[in-house]
Amino acid sequence: MGCEEEILIIRSYDGQYADRVRVEDLERRCEVGPSERVFLFTDTMGDPICRIRNSPLYKMLVAEVDNQLVGVIQGSIKVVTVHQAQKDRAKVGYVLGLRVVPSFRRRGIGCSLVLRLEEWFVANDVGYTYMATEKDNEASVKLFIYKLGYTNFRVPAILVNPVKHYRSYHLPSNIQISRLKVGVAEYLYRKFMASTEFFPHDIDQVLRHKLSLGTWVAYYRDDTDDAEDANFETSGSKSEMTIPKSWAMLSVWNSGEVFKLRLGKAPLSCLIYTESSKVIDKIFPCLNLPSIPNFYEPFGFYFMYGVH
């Protein structure tokens, strides 16, 4: 008697307890990043769709084989700026959170999940689909570029820095840093960054969200004709706002309230250095030596964006 062929079922995540527990278990078993290097595990803190829940439109699909959950994928849709001759904005679909249980990989499950998610994008008039992956993640590159025809659009860098309370920075006396009101921050984003590729047209909703910690601006106190007029705030029309010649701004998003990360694998030397630096920092705090936080326990992070 021949072996029965496995039947792959792809359906929407239903959000019920059984689905939630199985998805969280799958997340714990699937590392993020190439297995031969340091990788991260994601702790969704009981909410598997936490990374897309704040998007205007989102969807999560799960893959099952013989009632066993073996894969997941998430997608969200936003309206952003694009540089086209016909129009300056478009709906884009973002693919993220593609996970397949290690023992079920290389069976086309990941490809099937992406194609089904793309069907949902098409049904919602999405013009472009994009995703982010490490350039040396061979499995991901082969799937999206060589099999599904995705194009290498950009090669961004993600910069990380542990923050310690004693790392104070003394600003020069001629530099002013102020927190902006949401309306003012939105005005500046739309005025100076609206033409940037992939600028989100719901920036007002992003800035007003409960996870947004705020937007800050820095400028030289003496960088205007009248230093007292160097003020981004105004109670009247935005045209009355006095903007200095040189200034910078950024916004901060509290990702740690949504999900956490945990280091899953690292050289022994890294672990030894982490622990020893913590001991030195505890015994000799006056030295202000940089120490590495415990990335082996779940940790959150602040995401700085909109730097201009």
Arithmetic mean of pLDDT, 154-160: 79
- pLDDT of 24 > 60? The answer is yes
Report the distance separating Cα 184 and Cα 193, nearest Å. Answer: 14
- pLDDT of 33 > 80? The answer is no
- pLDDT of 37 > 70? The answer is no
Q: What is the pTM of this model?
A: 0.78
Residue-wise pLDDT for 89-118, tens only, equals: 889 999 999 999 989 999 999 999 999 999
76 and 57 Cβ atoms separated by less than 8 Å: yes
Q: How far is CA 31 from each of CA 35, 39, 157, 267, rounded to the nearest angstrom?
A: 7, 6, 20, 16
62 and 13 Cβ atoms separated by less than 8 Å: yes
**Residue 38: which of 299, 277, 256, 270 has the closest Cα?**
270
Arithmetic mean of pLDDT, 34-58: 75
**Residue 110: which of 31, 10, 201 has the closest Cα?**
10
> What was the pLDDT predicted at 166?
55
> What was the pLDDT predicted at 82?
82
Sequence-ordered list of residues with C-beta below 8 angstroms from that of 60, at least 6 positions apart, any chain: 12, 13, 48, 49, 52, 72, 73, 74, 75, 97
- SS3 category, 31: coil
> What was the pLDDT predicted at 210?
92
Residue-wise pLDDT for 185-244, tens only, equals: 999 999 999 988 889 999 999 999 999 999 999 998 876 554 444 567 645 456 667 788
Sequence-ordered list of residues with C-beta below 8 angstroms from that of 54, at least 6 positions apart, any chain: 209, 211, 258
Radius of gyration in angstroms for the set of CA atoms belonging to the chain, rounded to a whole number: 23
